[in-house]
Chain A
């Protein structure tokens, strides 16, 4: 089945630790995104990548890092520099660089930092 997979679904970390969230897609999509959602709020763009080996900062990139070494994978690292990392993280992918298409989402990762 084609789709986009995030893991883990729930993640607990101690304050000050870096943590990496996984996102994999087998939809052959060029573009991938990471969003953060806080309770009762909308989605805010952290990073996005339109093609392998390239990515751009979104609106709230501080304290986060990404890599795009493979088309299928776009992992997000939440660093200790992120002041308030507890949130719901959503990964999405969409079409190609030249064609605007809708985004498909993974099921999300709920990160809790204690």
Chain B
């Protein structure tokens, strides 16, 4: 059964700092990994989707990497801003092939202090 772990559970940093969020998954037979952002009381916003054939994806100040063999992904946020404060979730398909549903971690709650 696919399990996703995110560390740290919470992170507080001063504005301007670069930071890394970690995600690990138990079954490396995935075909993609997706990072989401969730603001309090809101739904999820897709940030980046990495296909299994890719090693990384970039969008603005965000860079996500994927190492399937070790079952790990990182989300790098450059020059953090108070507006980046949110919970960040990573998600992968389950162990069974051919399913489109997602298995989520519990998320990392990020606070960027001005």
Q: Does chain A bind chain B?
A: no
